Amino acid sequence: MSYAAVVVGSAFVPYLPLNPNPNGSLPSPNNTSQNTGGVGCGGAEETHLSTMKPTVTVAASSGFKWRLVIAYDGTHYSGWQYQQSPPTIQCIVEKALTQATKLERKDLLLVGASRTDKGVHALGQVAHFVTPFNYDSLESIHAALNGLLPSDIRVREISPAMPEFHARFSAKRKIYHYKIYNDTIMDPFQHRYAHHSAYKLNAAVMREAASYFIGKHDFSAFVNASHNDRVRDPVKNIFRFDVIEMGALLQLEVEGSGFLYRQVRNMVALLLQIGKEAIPPDIVPMILASRDRKELAKYALSAPPHGLCLVTVNYNEEHLGLPSSCPKTSFGRHHTISKCKLPFY
């Protein structure tokens, strides 16, 4: 099976159908009538983007799904998941989308691939939303979104998505990086994005310990209780867990089928204790076998959030196909300066 990364458990989830006006014209953003169609992508209707509210005609049972790749500095936000106060990434992105599309939040159905925690960063968060209208080009909506968003949140890419694509449930693999600055004095240019450890860490034993996480395991001992999440399958598959030395910086790269609440930070916390040589590497399988969060708590607390970054979300190739009759993917556009034409003398 081949995978494709959008950057840098699969299930089909039904989509809220769309109900255009009986005469076939675009329903107003305030239309709250019951929806009856499915979300797809087809037909290239004319789009008026200067006001960011497309003037289009929509077929009676069609809608359009769009995929976003988003990068953000999570320092000032309470994670991804929607809440108004304190603000979250999803809340800020939805506000920008409602302004750019003139649609209500309930109509956009924005969903993120990963519900990153407070203070966690992302380079390749993936999300999708739906509209009852198509676009000729995505460059203008892309520029509008980044113009509306604060400077610490950026839409890196926007593309049409297949009806079957779901940012969260279609994801096959995710890659997180955790950075540790291992020196006596913290680099002030790293302090937002790396955890400082003044203890000299033994990268070799950390690498040995990380290898015990690879494979399919029950990670119940490495999950924190979450009041706003349903009970999830604790069995996850870790494909790789690398410990990479880059001068004073240690980068821990973990790739897995999915992760439980604070699982990555809890694994990193244990590796930090092992790196300090406070406990041996072979304690990892013992804690995994216990399936008891209290067992991990005897040795380590969660690592701080600011060292963690969601780097990549991978999907099956078929989920990343571009629907026919839809605009090309937008990666942003460069500004150009018009050259002054001088007369010949």
Name the residues annotated as catalytic: 117
What residues form DSSP beta bridges with 65?
Answer: 130, 161
Q: Given the DSSP bridges, would you call strands 235-246 and 308-316 parallel, antiparallel or unpaired?
A: unpaired
Phi-psi region of 288 (alpha: psi -120 to 50; beta: other; left: phi over 0): alpha
The DSSP-derived string for 303-331 is PPGGGEEEEEEEEEGGGGPPPTTSPPPB-
Phi, psi of 143 (to 5 degrees): -65, -35
How far is the C-alpha of 22 from the C-alpha of 229, rounded, in Å? Answer: 40
User: Among 332, 30, 319, which Cα is nearest to 165's?
Assistant: 319
Non-local (6+) Cβ contacts of 297 within 8 A are: none
